[in-house]
Chains A and B, each alone.
Chain A
């Protein structure tokens, strides 16, 4: 077929870069024998009691649409969970929206609040969808670089420096994919003050919050004056190992949830009911399974970070998530060259840091969502590769 149909593609979509992850995936997919530390999801299967709840719901014939906002039973459970774990309270009737993963929640939040040309501050390296989602909402992304010196937490000075007239939204994601960075409370307090001063809306993606290994996770929404200007996003994919269920939620002031609901209603209608039923079970009874998985991630993290440092790749301790983000600068290679070489010569896949934004240059993301044996074998091979390329 002739490919002149390209002329129909919208200008702002033509301009979007393909995700760097996809490019790398194409190479890795052709090497099934490679050890992949490139997987951005849990290696655990969803706990059986949650899967079983979904099966039971299917058996009962739960195959309908739901309220656009999601099942009220689920919204009540979400409120209970968020109250207990984040010290935040929302009205299940109009301040909580169930979405198809945090990805959809983020997209509809941006589309609901942004006018063409509005500016959005976000920190980088970050999850691959942030900048494209802003562009798809016809707004302008403004990246704030985070660095290994700050353990990839966000520096309030950098936020203030990046701000310019026209900024409407600040997006946060802690713990961060791909760096595992968190931002401590004192810094969040400064950022909160600045957000109030400049009248910024904060969209906070807290999908990795349960997987915080050191200290307590603080949501910016809990800080004084912030709940009324924060859209709190969370979901089930990571802590509950439910990526394929595609289910998440947004909590925020009623007018914002109402606006998001309009976009959601006309695009998605509602999240799948089976996933919503599974999510209810996860919130009610998933705690012990989450704790067990977290304990394993914790040990794996300590192992992989130690091994990277032994191998000569300086690696900060990610305080949350299941990603390590070692520096490959000691090799003098670019992220892409390092990762491609490692894949070809040692058959280990890690993701070039540049897939997560230009400020990821000089780093690579390694997921420790895999067995000890594979982590040991992969890091042994990485050590051999580093030794070789340094000579």
Chain B
């Protein structure tokens, strides 16, 4: 794994200049490496991790278990890709076990997600069944705890 990628995955928010300082590289080295990571689709994109409750934004999320029939050429891939292309689909995974695809879908309200499932997802040819679970509350989002208030540290500012 490249040092730039390792640093990104540590999770501290740093700009290109700061990353250059941390790694002892030039800013242009960092930019070139980021471009390479993106070009090779190792780094797929940039997204903030935010807490919709605090931002007072309504986002409805559902986890959908999807059973599909595999195709002779390509197994699940073509159908999975087709489902993944919908904007409502945030993530899509092939699973072992009692269903095939785990789809995480989002919408601005319940009706939007329900419409997506009934009118778009369920009607795709090859989709055999769906089971939709709406998320009620998030406790941890991509490594960040949501219900742990920042408390003042008791740590002395200087210690031996």
Could you list which residues of chain A lie within 8 angstroms of chain B, going by C-beta atoms?
Answer: 19, 21, 24-25, 28-29, 32, 34, 36, 38-41, 127-129, 177, 295-296, 299-300, 302-303, 306-307, 349, 351, 371-373, 376
Residue on B nearest A178 in the bound complex, by CB: B160
Extra contacts besides A25-B158, A36-B157, A296-B10 (14): CB < 8 Å: A21-B159, A28-B157, A29-B157, A32-B157, A40-B158, A40-B159, A299-B7, A300-B22, A351-B158, A371-B12, A372-B14, A372-B18, A373-B12, A376-B22
For B157, list chain A residues within 8 Å (CB): 25, 28-29, 32, 34, 36, 38-39, 349
Contact of B160 among A28, A128, A299, A373 (CB under 8 A): A128
B20-53 CB contact bits vs A (8 Å, 1 = yes)? Answer: 0111100000000000000000000000000000
- Cα of A6 to Cα of B21 in the assembled complex, Å: 53
Contact B156 A25 (CB under 8 A): yes
A41 touching B159 by the CB < 8 A rule? yes
CB <8 Å contact, A36 and B158: yes
Query: How many chain B residues have a CB neighbour from A under 8 Å?
Result: 17
Could you tell me the distance between the alpha carbons of A322 and B22 in the complex, rounded to whole angstroms? Answer: 16
Could you tell me if B158 and A39 are in contact, using CB atoms closer than 8 angstroms?
Answer: yes
In the bound complex, do residue B158 and residue A303 qualify as a contact, i.e. CB atoms below 8 Å apart?
no
Pairs of residues from A and B, 6 with the lowest C-beta to C-beta distance, nearest first: A38-B158, A25-B158, A40-B159, A36-B157, A28-B157, A128-B160
Q: Does B82 contact A (CB under 8 A)?
A: no
Q: Say yes or no: B14 contacts A39, CB within 8 Å.
A: no
- For B156, the closest partner residue in chain A by CB is A25
B10 touches A28 (CB 8 A): no
Residue of A nearest to B6 (CB): A295
Give Cα A39–Cα B156 distance, bound, in whole angstroms: 7
Q: How many angstroms from the CA of A364 to the CA of B158 in the assembled complex? A: 13
Say yes or no for B155: interface residue by CB 8 A criterion: yes
Query: Are A349 and B158 interface neighbours, CB within 8 A?
Result: yes
